[in-house]
Amino acid sequence: MQDVPKIVLNRLQETAGAEAHPDADLLTAFAEQSLGESERTGVMAHLAGCKDCREIVTLALPASEAAAVSASASAARTGWLGWSVLRWSVALAGIIAIASFGIVQYRQRQKSESFGSNLTARNEPAATAVQSFPQSPAPSKSQSVILPAQNDKQAAKEKRPPPRGGWQPDSTDYFSSTQQAHQANRATPAAGVIHGAASGGVAGGNFALGAGSGAPVAPKAAPPSPSNTPTIVGDLKNATPEETAKLEPSLRRGQVAGAPSSAQTVEVAPQSAGVTATAESQATDQIIENQKEQVSQYQSSATLGVVEAQGAATMSNLELATPRWSINTEGGLQRSFDGGKTWVEVNPDLVASRTGNAHNFPWKKKAEVQGSPHPVFRAVSAAGTEVWAGGSAAMLYHSVDSGLHWARVVPSESGAVLTGEITSVEFSDSQHGRIATSASEVWITANDGKTWRRQ
Amino acid sequence: MEELALARACANGDNSAWEIFLTRYREKLYQAALRIAREDSAARELADSLYAELYGVSTREGQRVSKLASFTGRGSLEGWLRTVLAQEFVNRYRRTKRLVSLDEEIEEGAQFAARETEPGSSGNSRLESCTDAELAALSSEDRLVLAAYYLDGRTLAEVARMLGVHESTISRKVDKLAKSLRKKIVAGMMRQGVDRRAAEEALEVDVRDLQVNIRRSLGQESPGATFLEKKDALRLQQKIAPRAKN
């Protein structure tokens, strides 16, 4: 260590503390580091010039002071370092925790997206498959049928590639044994169903007016319904609320984009063995009771076009989405829950019962379907959950729950019934409607089809 | 507060308080005395003399005078007792030692020189003034460190203990002060018109050292040694001495 010049030490020695020596209290407080800054400075100034006082302070230090001072100094240094390390450790731990939380959230989001993409990935063109209805343990239970998403014959005929996405039935789904089940781009509803007669309802929906040509109408993009949880279950009896809830996302994701076409035609034929479809369920009753709750506004047009039904009836138990409706070239009535990406044919004839003069809504009436072919529709009109569909042989069907249940309507007046093929159906509101037939007949109603009058 | 109350009670002659005081501090006081005096007999004597002063055997104007009455509680009672003990030791044994040393030195034929008068050299006056200025510019803590380390010959650890800092802190401070003081004094002398070389030489050599050396040379040195050799030998001796203490 470098020495200071001697002159410095000499001068330092001569600068004695002229002040009075600090008393024992002051020196003790100085030794114990308990003096204030100003007092400490004054004591140090005296000590710098007073050898005796320096000696006293040194002698008064306790024997453990050396260890305590060094320990405190090291502890202070360690503590300072420890605090610094702890501070940065806490900060680092916080950053790690936030990052971990973000990663977990990201993975969860990816999982949910992959779940949807997996469902979409299942919508791949598949070979024709024939599946049979599983043996139902109870014959009273309705059989759910899956609507094949694609008709290979149709596709071959139309030479259209199968659309992407869509539903794809799985082994748990039910198919008509007599029917060619076409798997194309449709996700299989978890409940395995959807279908005209017993299928779940969708409130409102977009639909197309079928013209005489029966050409399919490209559906317009429909605004997403706020509460779209369609219950697309073929039979509410078979489907639990959980399955119903599961069904909705699969339906949404599984449907392909694109206009309804013959390639997407879904044909369902009742099983020869006899498919008992029942429209009886508690949920159905509730749906029916709530069918008139919400007034829907819609635009209808006599020309071809997708009619967007605005508004959706809210069900007490089931939230139904607003589907779109269209008619394919085969005359099949189609419904889409995903804005036209995928279409499912609906066969109102499965559960509809023929009515007489009055418009009857035999919702609780069981109907047996015995291999009757689906009607050839020519026109459809939908407003909210209410759907009117008409076609050949004066067939007119009405549903108030977006196709969950149907009723056959036969307009008549004074014994005269509607004849010919219904070529157009127009409803300006929920009450007033107009039907035109190929026999140049025009029938109107002002009470939602309860009574009709021929113009 | 409790210690202050105990001290006040003892100062007032409360025997129960005194009993408590002895119970708590008797052994500690003896250990402190032993550490100060470094000898058992001296330590016991030191401690016993302090007990008497603490108890208040002396009276003033009819009232007992106890040293404990001067305890104000700014520090701990134990620390205060150690300080008082150290003061007593310094006062008693330093006086005794000086007296003893003086007698011993006289027997040994030591000559006691008169107070050295400061030389009236202009160079030294400029040096002294610059040195004083730089010392005055230092903080009290820096001056204390220099005094304790260089003048008292304390170790870095002892100085650190006194100030309640780490030894490395004192080491860095001493080294820094040694370097900076030299530079600042030379700079100050240069500002006063002194040549740099001359300033550095003046800083290295103290005229008073020459005077002391001459006296020593005349009284003790062998005739063969030249003045410069004696001066160099003494300077070397004095430089080595502080380092040996470290």
Question: Domain boundary residue among A61, A84, A108?
Answer: A61
Overall domain count for chain A? 2
Question: Which helix (H) or strand (E) segment is A22 a member of?
Answer: none
In a domain, A299, yes or no: yes
Q: What is the pLDDT of residues B181-232, one digit of tens each?
A: 889 988 998 998 888 888 888 887 755 554 444 444 444 444 444 444 555 5
- Does A52 sit within 8 Å of B146, measured CB to CB? no
| A25/B161 Cβ within 8 A | no
Judgement on whether residues A147 and A54 belong to the same structural domain of the protein: no
A69 lies in some domain: no
Residues 6+ apart with CB under 8 A from B47: B29, B30, B32, B33, B85
Give domain status of residue A376, yes or no. Answer: yes
Cα–Cα distance for residue pair B58/B70, rounded to 1 Å: 15
Between the CA of residue A105 and those of A91, A94, A119, what are the distances in Å? 21, 16, 21
Instruction: Using a CB–CB cutoff of 8 Å, tell me whether A14 touches chain B.
Output: no
- Nearest beta carbon to residue B140 from set A10, A45, A65: A45
Those residues whose C-beta lies under 8 Å from the C-beta of residue A359, and which sit 6 or more positions away, are A398, A407, A409, A448, A449, A450, A451
Show residues of chain B in contact with A15, CB under 8 Å.
Answer: 132, 135, 143
Q: Is A70 on the interface with B (CB under 8 A)?
A: yes
Count other C-beta atoms under 10 Å from residue A280's C-beta. Answer: 19
| Mean pLDDT over the full length of chain A | 65
In a domain, A384, yes or no: yes
Residue A66 lies in a domain: no
CA separation for the pair A433, A381 (Å, rounded): 10
The span from the CA of A199 to the CA of A433, in Å, is 25
pLDDT in tens, A28-66: 999 999 899 999 999 999 999 888 899 999 999 887 544
Q: Which residues have a Cβ under 8 Å from the Cβ of A59 and sit 6 or more positions away?
A: B35, B36, B82, B85, B86, B89, B90
- Tell whether A97 is covered by a domain: no
Shared domain for A57 and A150, answered yes or no, is no
Distance from CA of B219 to the nearest CA of A (A): 24
For residue B200, give how far its alpha carbon lies from the nearest alpha carbon of chain A (Å). Answer: 10
CB contact A39 to B (< 8 Å): no
Return the residue of A nearest to B36 by Cα: A59
B70 and A25: CB-CB below 8 Å?
Answer: yes
Determine, for residues A59 and B90 on separate chains, whether the beta-carbon distance falls below 8 Å.
yes
Residue A375: the pLDDT is: 78
The reply to whether residue A1 touches residue B36, judged by beta carbons under 8 angstroms, is: no
B38 touches chain A (CB under 8 A): no
Choose one of A61, A87, A108: the last residue of a domain. A61
- Give the integer Cα–Cα distance in Å for B52 and B173: 43
B106 Cα to chain A: minimum distance (Å) = 24
Based on the domain organization, do A184 and A52 belong to the same domain?
no
Residue span of the structural domain in which A24 resides: 6-61
Only one residue has tokens 């100062």, namely B11
Cα B130 to Cα A337, A346, A388, B202, B206: the distances in Å are 98, 110, 113, 12, 14
Structural domains of chain B, ranges and CATH numbers in brackets: 2-94 (1.10.1740.10), 123-204 (1.10.10.10), 207-246 (no CATH)
Residues A21 and A137 in one domain: no
- Based on the fold, state whether residues A281 and A364 are members of the same structural domain: yes
Compute the average pLDDT of residues A143-157: 44
Q: Is residue A427 part of a domain?
A: yes
Mutate to test the interface with A, among B161, B180, B238 (most CBs of A within 10 A): B161
Nearest to A195 by CA among A400, A387, A291, A335: A335
Distance between alpha carbon A4 and the CA centroid of its chain, in Å? 84
Claim to verify: residue A324 and residue A403 sit in the same structural domain: yes
Minimum-distance CB partner of A60 among B83, B166, B174 = B83
Give B240 or A389, the one with higher predicted confidence.
Answer: A389
With cut-offs at 50, 70 and 90, classify the pLDDT of residue A74: low
The CA R_g of chain B, rounded to the nearest whole Å, is 25
pLDDT band at A254 (very low <50, low <70, confident <90, very high): very low
CA distances (Å), B185 to each of A4, B137, B191, B209, in order?
Answer: 11, 11, 10, 19
- In chain A, the percentage of residues whose pLDDT exceeds 70 is 43
Q: What is the pLDDT of residue A28?
A: 92
- Residues A179 and A321 both lie in one domain: yes
For residue B122, the one-letter residue type is: S
- Confidence at A9, pLDDT banded by 50, 70, 90: confident
The answer to whether residue A15 neighbours chain B at the CB level (below 8 Å) is yes
Whether residues A280 and A385 share a domain: the answer is: yes
pTM (global) more than 0.80: no
Distance CA A405, CA A387 (A): 10
Q: Could you tell me which chain A residue has the CA closest to the CA of B127? A: A7
pLDDT of A112 above 80: yes
Average pLDDT over residues A319-334: 82
d(CA A258, CA A336): 11
Whether A54 and B148 lie within 8 Å, measured CB to CB: yes
What residue has token string 């008064």?
Answer: A60
pLDDT band at A397 (very low <50, low <70, confident <90, very high): very high
Q: Measured between alpha carbons, how far is B170 from A299 in angstroms, rounded to an integer?
A: 93
Inter-chain touch B74–A34, beta carbons under 8 Å: yes
A189 φ/ψ angles, rounded to the nearest 5 degrees: -65, 145
Cβ burial, residue A165 (10 Å; 0-12/13-18/19+)? buried
State whether residue B182 sits within 8 Å of chain A by CB: yes
**Nearest beta carbon to residue B151 from set A13, A24, A61:** A13
Residue B58 β-bridge partners? B65
| Cβ-Cβ contacts under 8 Å for A204 (sequence gap 6 or more) | A225, A296, A309, A310, A311, A312, A313, A320, A321, A322, A323, A382, A383, A384, A385, A402
CA distance A21 to chain B (A): 11
Same domain, A35 and A148: no
Residue A400 above 60 pLDDT? Answer: yes
- Give the separation between CA A14 and CA A10, rounded to whole angstroms: 6
Residues of chain B contacting A20 with CB distance shorter than 8 Å: none
Rounded-to-integer distance, Cα B70 and Cα A285, Å: 100
Using an 8 Å CB-CB cutoff, list chain A residues near B134.
8
Alpha-helical (H) ranges within A331-434 are none
pLDDT higher at A198 or A316: A316
Distance CA B25, CA B75 (A): 15
CA dist B245 and A66 (Å) reads 18
Question: Which residue type sits at B121?
Answer: S
**How far, in Å, are A178, A209, A268, A429, A451 from residue A447 at the CA level?**
41, 21, 32, 10, 7
A78 touches chain B (CB under 8 A): no
- Between these two residues, A132 and A332, which has the higher pLDDT value? A332
DSSP string, A252-268: HHHPPPS---GGG----
Residue type for position A60: A
In contact, A352 and A197? CB cutoff 8 Å:
yes
How far apart are the C-alpha atoms of A380 and A300, rounded to whole Å?
Answer: 10
Average pLDDT on A192-219 reads 41
Give the end of a domain, one of A61, A93, A108. A61
Between CA A358 and CA A368 the distance in angstroms is 22
When CB atoms are compared, the residue of A2, A25, A35 closest to B72 is: A25
Q: What's residue B99's pLDDT? A: 56
Q: Which chain A residue lies closest to B144 (C-alpha atoms)? A: A48
- Please give the single-letter amino acid code of residue B20: I
- Helix, strand, coil percent values for chain A (each to nearest 5): 30, 15, 55
User: What pLDDT sits at residue B149?
Assistant: 92
Predicted ipTM of the assembly: 0.75
Asked whether the beta carbons of residue B128 and residue A58 sit closer than 8 angstroms, the reply is: no
Pick the residue with more confidence: A159 or B131? Answer: B131
pLDDT in tens, chain B (246 residues): 788 999 988 888 888 988 999 899 888 888 899 988 888 888 888 888 888 888 877 666 777 778 888 898 888 999 999 999 999 888 886 666 655 555 555 555 555 555 454 444 444 788 888 888 888 899 999 999 999 999 899 999 999 999 999 999 999 999 999 889 889 988 998 998 888 888 888 887 755 554 444 444 444 444 444 444 555 556 665 655 555 445
- Residue B154 sits at the chain A interface (C-beta within 8 Å): yes
The pLDDT confidence band at residue A442, using thresholds 50, 70 and 90, is: very high
User: Does B140 contact chain A (CB < 8 Å)?
Assistant: yes
Has residue A112 been placed in a domain?
no
A380 and A297 in a common domain = yes
Which residues numbered 196-225 in B keep a CB inside 8 Å of some CB on A? 203-204, 206, 208-209
